[in-house]
A and B are shown apart, each in its own frame.
Chain A
Amino acid sequence: MPARLDLQAISLLRERDPRGFELAYAEYAPRLYGFLRRLTGRADLADDLLQQAFLRLAERGPELRSDSDLRAWLFTVARNAYLSEVRTSRNKQEPVALEGLASPSPDVEARLLLGDVEQALALLRLEDREVLLLIGVEGLAHDTVSTLLGITPAALRQRLSRARSRLLAELERAPQATDGATPRARSQP
């Protein structure tokens, strides 16, 4: 069910009223930008992808269905643009080993509260990172995310569980936050 803001923004966009774009931009640009910064790990690429997604909205907005979910639409466009960019630049990431995915120790749970999550997220593979960002950070519904990623709800649950375990594993591997050390990204796109 699309939000009231979506309905209003799309209604204005369909009338070619720029206020519809302003509404959508004010609401979703910070979220999409945050998602892209964390997904890509690069400010310049996040800028470029944000621009691509919103300019696509300006082009296609007047043709959008009135019941479209704008947030899901924007995230899908941005994610596809990023995947296309990755394919073009052939920036493949090394898979993260699955060992050591046991339950988190109390130490890790404590560090979750210390704010190491951003750094641990950056160390994850793209497919793990994106599922955690979409569900954990953005709070998108599972069915929306499974459509967005093009996978079944069961596969999404599995991927989320794996991604969560890998995030915890990264937190266990990373240097202690209290040391002031910054973990190095093994592979960044």
Chain B
Amino acid sequence: MTEIDPVLTRLAALANSAPPSELSAKIRAAATRTITPRRVHPLWTCAVAGSVLSYLCWALHFASRLY
């Protein structure tokens, strides 16, 4: 369509206002929490590794006493 429509032209000239800054900050913070993968605290990694190691040591000790 090459014909210029005055109604659509006028509509296209309507300005948009930015969302309130508090709302934007709230949305951005919530989005960042959702997008960013949750990081496990290093202490939890150490605790899991330690408990696995303890169990293996105990199992080895237990098995060695059987024979």
Contacts and interface: CB of A to CB of B under 8 A. Distances in A.
Given A16-B37, A30-B18, A51-B26, A132 B11 contact: yes
A22 B31 CA distance: 9
A159 to B, nearest CB: 14
Dominant secondary structure of chain A at its interface with chain B: helix
Contacts of A58: 30-32, 34-35
B40 to A, nearest CB: 16
A62 B35 contact: yes
Contacts of A137: 11-12, 14
Interface string B10-44: 11101111111001101110111011110000000
B27 A50 contact: yes
Interface residues of A, number: 41
Interface of B: 5-8, 10-12, 14-20, 23-24, 26-28, 30-32, 34-37
Given A58-B32, A133-B11, 17 more contacts: A13-B35, A18-B31, A25-B24, A30-B16, A33-B18, A34-B14, A47-B23, A54-B27, A55-B30, A55-B31, A55-B34, A58-B30, A112-B6, A113-B10, A137-B12, A164-B8, A168-B7
